[in-house]
């Protein structure tokens, strides 16, 4: 068909309706007048000629309609009519329309949000050119991303599979802008970093491989766009300006484009400095130490045509030759490749599993909403059976009636979808600008994109057709004669209807959601009150790095001691401990340990891995870690004293067999400050085991070494006080400011410090909690709809019962017994399913156990309560039936 002609032909019909109609009338009239004139010429008088012309022409009205149809666009025409009718019908029952739209808005909104998160996390993880070719190199059987600098150089220069390998490390640095010392998160990058990622400078230039001419050879920095805007007012003249980073001069040479935030999904650094200048930032360079795996990650771009397997084989070849050449420092030099944005496959699978589960649950919600609306629609169709019968009797086709029903359903679903999408867009925008932690530059970039809108539209349409299809059978089987004869609602079958099935399914789904959210919430509560091996109550953590104020390793211990002494005299402070990192903080360091009898100390012969903390004498008291046996450190455990250590119970059990048998024994570990040399450490004490990196981790070995025997600049102070931890913050700040005003410090409560490790569990709990609430709301509307409908259908019967003297309980039993039976059936099914589903949850939410009696009771109680709330109004209505009024009505 000629499309242009078609559109031209229907254009007038829709845009200039009255002119179009007039046109047809005029043309037909013109025809009749021509004919009449012909007839007049043949001898008839005028009036007779006109009468004859009209007669010959036939039914003018019919032909006019046929003309309109011939023009086309009838589909649209009927649609407009159907929409008008639907709007009229919906306006008559605003309660139904509101409930339906709200239900769908919740369901589609939830789906839009989940899809949007999946879209930005999994579908477009990195906003970089050809991001799909970017991989992160992971080493050994634990797939760690850390590499040492010499290893990185060998991998970079000897591989044939990558278009460049870039390395970066995450660090914190003090930026001196003349005012309050500023603490910034930075990435130390290799010279080819921006080339490998194919990012172009927004202003100025980026690092070049040619800048790297040995340690501290390139004191320059590249700002991220947002840091440039917030701290340099977007001023282009900053290029070439020298700023003090950790009291060392660095020249600003460029700014990254606005969309670039490094290669990690959630972590946005403030600025970049060359890796070769690490010593100026962190106090130690370790550029030539092969055993020190301090590089955070190595990222490479696979050459076109090279498969993953080829690249891994290539890397493994280099790895095994390195292992042979440097047996003392290089172990487990076999590799895997992961996606860089989630820190390789460290976070990836967890997030994928979680999002998959979330998508499943939100899909279930949509299904429950459809079931809910389906049964409401079926109920309405039953109410309207008289109208339908009348229309059928008057000659309307069943397909025409179905079309109207579907129009109504889709109208509701589209409105609901639009409202839901609107909500979710607001929420997502908020989420994108939200920073879960004040301390870390962590973002959740989930701005909605076009495909989110498309998915929401498709879901809305699909669900409209889904629940619109429920009453189809009912309408197709309407027998006009029966209905008109007997009156609507006279059929009172007790058989199980589609509606009942839908309600059971819906309640089951909601019960699953309610159960799993309760499991998650309970898990989180337990996680927060679990035993961490320290006591977060009434405790404040101060976090800084003395290298930010320019202290070198030899000057550090003295300064640290001054800080401890200064804090100790604050009123209300009970004890002050100092460590290089704290358990459940930003991540503990891990070192290998050897048994004392091991003489060949190559990594392959390690007896275990242990988290390592270097601490001050009073640390255990300050952090509330109980000493099981032996002693803690004293200030006399310094570099001139023999090497001593305190281990945790897990360490003692694994290496020495028991806690009591560990005291006085020895183990070996690389010196924290010189990994190449192995030190022999005597165990002087054993403390309780705790959690070090995450609350869900398995029992982990840990060792504590005295701070004076291996000094460090990264400084964490734990302050235990006997009053509210929040109040003491300002006092601590001013005290430390008096010690040295150029040290940027960060103060927060010990609980807040744990936010990072609890983030996953917390997010999971929030997400599941919200889904659970939505599920509960859906089950209320579902049960309410069903109960209200069944009461309204049986008002007459109930009236007769009351008139005949039925008791209240009997009336209720007859009015709502069925609803309650269905509720019980659905809840039971949902509970069982929920318990099964919660097994999956246990992986994410710490100590989430579905077999928890509290959770089971809670879920049963919640479902009964929901049932009670939902049936309250219908029950009141059933009880207040006045038989007299009822009979007068009929």
CA 262 – CA 184 distance, rounded (Å): 15
DSSP assignment of 350-396? HHHHHHHHHHHHHHHHHHHHHHHHHHHHHHHHHHTHHHHHHHHHTT-
Residue among 15, 18, 43, 59 that touches other proteins (CB under 8 A):
59
CA 734 – CA 632 distance, rounded (Å): 30
Output 55 or 394, the one with its CB closest to other proteins.
Answer: 55
CA 443 – CA 432 distance, rounded (Å): 7
Listed ranges 55-63, 572-580, 758-766, 856-864: which one lies at the site for other proteins (CB under 8 A) = 55-63
* 16 sits near other proteins (criterion: CB under 8 A): no
* 143 sits near other proteins (criterion: CB under 8 A): no
| Residue 71 C-beta: closest distance to other proteins, Å | 5
Output 35 or 328, the one with its CB closest to other proteins.
Answer: 35
Cα angle 125-129-135, degrees, rounded to a multiple of 5: 60
CA 632 – CA 464 distance, rounded (Å): 69
* 879 sits near other proteins (criterion: CB under 8 A): no
Residue among 11, 14, 19, 33 that touches other proteins (CB under 8 A):
33
* 57 sits near other proteins (criterion: CB under 8 A): yes
Output 24 or 428, the one with its CB closest to other proteins.
Answer: 24
Residue 672 CB neighbours (<10 A): 18
CA 470 – CA 503 distance, rounded (Å): 12
CA 14 – CA 362 distance, rounded (Å): 40
Q: Is 141 exposed, middle or buried (0-12, 13-18, 19+ CB in 10 A)?
A: exposed
CA 279 – CA 552 distance, rounded (Å): 10
* 21 sits near other proteins (criterion: CB under 8 A): no
Output 26 or 734, the one with its CB closest to other proteins.
Answer: 26
Output 53 or 548, the one with its CB closest to other proteins.
Answer: 53
Listed ranges 6-14, 104-112, 609-617, 870-878: which one lies at the site for other proteins (CB under 8 A) = 6-14
* 30 sits near other proteins (criterion: CB under 8 A): yes
Output 58 or 95, the one with its CB closest to other proteins.
Answer: 58
CA 467 – CA 406 distance, rounded (Å): 9
703-729 b/e (C-beta count within 10 Å ≥ 16 → b): bbbbbbbbbbbbbbbbbbbeeebeebb
Taking CB under 8 A as the rule, which mask of x and - marks residues 65-84 in contact with other proteins?
-xx-xxxx------------
Output 58 or 178, the one with its CB closest to other proteins.
Answer: 58
* 435 sits near other proteins (criterion: CB under 8 A): no
Q: Which helix (H) or strand (E) holds 138?
A: strand 134-139
CA 583 – CA 64 distance, rounded (Å): 85
Listed ranges 2-10, 140-148, 621-629, 747-755: which one lies at the site for other proteins (CB under 8 A) = 2-10
Size of interface with other proteins, in residues (CB under 8 A): 31
- Candidates 349, 315, 268, 382; CA nearest to 155 is 315
Residue among 21, 37, 535, 688 that touches other proteins (CB under 8 A):
37
Give the SS3 label for residue 273.
Answer: strand
Residues shown for the chain = 890
Residue among 19, 27, 288, 724 that touches other proteins (CB under 8 A):
27
Residue 394 CB neighbours (<10 A): 8
Residue among 35, 400, 526, 752 that touches other proteins (CB under 8 A):
35
Output 34 or 491, the one with its CB closest to other proteins.
Answer: 34
Output 56 or 882, the one with its CB closest to other proteins.
Answer: 56
Output 72 or 331, the one with its CB closest to other proteins.
Answer: 72
Please give the backbone phi and psi of residue 747, each rounded to the nearest 5 degrees, phi first. -115, 130
* 58 sits near other proteins (criterion: CB under 8 A): yes
| Residue 63 C-beta: closest distance to other proteins, Å | 4
Listed ranges 29-37, 179-187, 269-277, 304-312: which one lies at the site for other proteins (CB under 8 A) = 29-37
Listed ranges 22-30, 209-217, 239-247, 372-380: which one lies at the site for other proteins (CB under 8 A) = 22-30
| Residue 47 C-beta: closest distance to other proteins, Å | 18
* 529 sits near other proteins (criterion: CB under 8 A): no
* 43 sits near other proteins (criterion: CB under 8 A): no
622-657 b/e (C-beta count within 10 Å ≥ 16 → b): bbbbeebbbebbeeebeeeeebbbbbbbbbbbbbbe
Q: Which helix (H) or strand (E) holds 460?
A: helix 450-468
CA 671 – CA 376 distance, rounded (Å): 72
Please give the backbone phi and psi of residue 744, each rounded to the nearest 5 degrees, phi first. -75, 125
* 449 sits near other proteins (criterion: CB under 8 A): no
* 6 sits near other proteins (criterion: CB under 8 A): yes
* 60 sits near other proteins (criterion: CB under 8 A): yes
Listed ranges 25-33, 259-267, 295-303, 739-747: which one lies at the site for other proteins (CB under 8 A) = 25-33
Residue among 44, 52, 63, 215 that touches other proteins (CB under 8 A):
63
Residue among 22, 26, 217, 537 that touches other proteins (CB under 8 A):
26
Cβ atoms of 345 and 355 within 8 Å: the answer is no
* 49 sits near other proteins (criterion: CB under 8 A): no
* 769 sits near other proteins (criterion: CB under 8 A): no
* 18 sits near other proteins (criterion: CB under 8 A): no
CA 361 – CA 365 distance, rounded (Å): 6
* Cα-based torsion angle of the residue sequence 151, 153, 154, 159 in order, rounded to the nearest 10 degrees: 120
* 24 sits near other proteins (criterion: CB under 8 A): yes
Output 28 or 355, the one with its CB closest to other proteins.
Answer: 28
* 215 sits near other proteins (criterion: CB under 8 A): no
| Residue 45 C-beta: closest distance to other proteins, Å | 18
Residue among 19, 48, 56, 142 that touches other proteins (CB under 8 A):
56
* 666 sits near other proteins (criterion: CB under 8 A): no
Cβ atoms of 732 and 747 within 8 Å: the answer is yes
CA 811 – CA 827 distance, rounded (Å): 24
* 309 sits near other proteins (criterion: CB under 8 A): no
Query: Which residues are bridge partners to 747 per DSSP?
Result: 542
Binding site for other proteins (CB under 8 A): 1-2, 4-6, 9-10, 23-24, 26-28, 30-31, 33-35, 37, 56-60, 62-63, 66-67, 69-72
């Amino acid at each position: 068909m000629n499309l242009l002609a078609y559109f031209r032909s229907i254009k007038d019909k829709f845009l200039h309706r009255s002119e179009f109609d007039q046109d047809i009338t005029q043309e037909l009239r013109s025809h009749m007048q021509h004919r009449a004139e012909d007839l007049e010429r043949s001898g008839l008088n005028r009036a007779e000629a006109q009468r004859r012309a009209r007669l010959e022409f036939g039914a003018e009205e019919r032909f006019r309609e046929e003309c309109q149809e011939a023009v086309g666009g009838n589909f649209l025409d009927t649609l407009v009519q159907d929409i008008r009718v639907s709007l009229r019908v919906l306006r008559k029952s605003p309660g139904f329309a509101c409930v339906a739209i709200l239900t769908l808005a919740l369901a589609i909104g939830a789906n839009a949000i989940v899809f949007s998160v999946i879209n930005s996390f999994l579908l477009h993880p990195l906003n970089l050119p050809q991001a799909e070719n970017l991989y992160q190199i992971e080493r050994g059987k634990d797939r760690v991303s850390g590499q040492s600098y010499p290893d990185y150089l060998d991998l970079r220069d000897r591989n044939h599979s990558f278009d460049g390998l870039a390395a970066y490390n995450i660090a914190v640095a003090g930026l001196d802008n003349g005012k309050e010392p500023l603490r910034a998160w930075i990435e130390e990058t290799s010279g080819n970093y921006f080339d490998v990622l194919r990012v172009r400078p927004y202003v100025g230039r980026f690092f070049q491989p040619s800048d790297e001419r040995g340690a501290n050879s390139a004191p320059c920095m590249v700002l991220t766009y947002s840091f440039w805007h917030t701290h340099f007012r977007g001023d282009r003249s900053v290029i070439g300006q020298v700023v003090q980073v950790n009291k060392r001069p660095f020249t600003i040479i460029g700014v990254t484009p606005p969309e670039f935030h490094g290669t990690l999904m959630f972590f946005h650094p403030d600025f970049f400095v060359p890796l070769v200048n690490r010593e100026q930032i962190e106090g130690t360079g370790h550029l030539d130490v092969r055993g020190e795996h301090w590089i955070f990650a190595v990222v490479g771009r696979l050459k076109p045509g090279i498969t993953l397997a080829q690249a891994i084989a290539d890397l493994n070849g280099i790895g095994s030759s390195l292992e042979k050449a440097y047996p003392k420092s290089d172990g487990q030099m076999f590799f895997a490749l992961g996606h860089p944005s989630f820190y390789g496959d460290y976070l990836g699978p967890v997030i994928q599993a979680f999002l998959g589960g979330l998508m499943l649950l939100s899909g279930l919600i949509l299904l429950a909403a459809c079931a809910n609306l389906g049964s409401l629609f079926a109920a309405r169709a039953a109410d309207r059976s008289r109208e339908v019968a009348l229309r059928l009797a008057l000659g309307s086709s069943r397909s025409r009636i179905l079309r109207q029903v579907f129009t109504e359903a889709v109208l509701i679903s589209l409105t609901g979808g639009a409202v839901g999408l609107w909500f979710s867009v607001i929420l997502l925008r908020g989420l994108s600008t939200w920073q879960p932690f004040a301390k870390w530059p962590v973002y959740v970039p989930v701005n909605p994109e076009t495909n989110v809108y498309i998915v929401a539209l498709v879901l809305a349409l699909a669900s409209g057709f889904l629940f619109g299809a429920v009453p189809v059978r009912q309408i197709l089987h309407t027998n006009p004669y029966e209905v008109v004869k007997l009156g609507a609602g006279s059929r009172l079958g007790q058989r199980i209807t589609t509606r009942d099935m839908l309600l059971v399914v819906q309640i089951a789904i909601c019960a699953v959601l309610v159960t799993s959210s309760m499991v998650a919430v309970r898990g989180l509560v337990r996680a927060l009150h679990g035993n961490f091996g320290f006591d977060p109550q009434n405790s404040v953590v101060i976090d800084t790095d003395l290298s930010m104020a320019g202290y070198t390793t030899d000057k550090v211990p003295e300064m640290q001691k001054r800080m401890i002494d200064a804090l100790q005299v604050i009123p209300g402070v009970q004890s002050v401990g100092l460590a290089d990192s704290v358990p459940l903080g930003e991540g503990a360091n891990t070192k290998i340990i050897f048994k004392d009898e091991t003489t060949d100390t190559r990594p392959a012969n390690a007896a275990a891995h242990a988290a390592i903390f270097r601490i001050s004498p009073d640390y255990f008291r300050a952090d509330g870690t109980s000493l099981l046996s032996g002693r803690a450190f004293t200030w006399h455990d310094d570099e001139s004293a023999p090497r001593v250590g305190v281990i945790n119970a897990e360490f003692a059990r694994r290496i020495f067999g028991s806690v009591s048998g560990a005291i006085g024994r020895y183990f070996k570990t690389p010196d924290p400050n010189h990994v190449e040399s192995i030190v022999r450490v005597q165990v002087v004490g054993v403390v309780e085991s705790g959690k070090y990196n995450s609350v869900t981790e398995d029992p982990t070995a840990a060792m504590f070494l005295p701070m004076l025997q291996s000094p460090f600049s990264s400084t964490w102070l734990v302050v235990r006080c006997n009053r509210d931890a929040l109040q003491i913050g300002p006092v601590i700040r001013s005290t430390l400011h008096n010690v040295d005003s150029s040290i940027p410090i960060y103060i927060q409560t010990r609980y807040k410090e744990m936010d990072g490790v609890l983030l996953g569990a917390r997010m999971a709990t929030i997400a599941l909690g919200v889904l659970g609430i939505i599920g509960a709301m859906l089950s209320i509307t579902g049960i309410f709809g069903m109960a209200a409908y069944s009461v309204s259908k049986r008002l007459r019967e109930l009236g007769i019962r009351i008139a005949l003297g039925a008791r209240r309980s009997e009336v209720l039993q007859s009015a709502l017994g069925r609803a309650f039976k269905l509720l019980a059936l659905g809840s039971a099914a949902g509970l069982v399913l929920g318990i099964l589903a919660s097994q999956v949850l246990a992986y994410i939410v710490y100590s989430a156990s579905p077999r928890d009696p509290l959770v089971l009771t809670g879920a049963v109680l919640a479902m009964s309560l929901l049932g009670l709330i939902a049936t309250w109004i219908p029950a009141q209505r059933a009880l207040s039936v006045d038989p007299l009024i009822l009979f007068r009505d009929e």
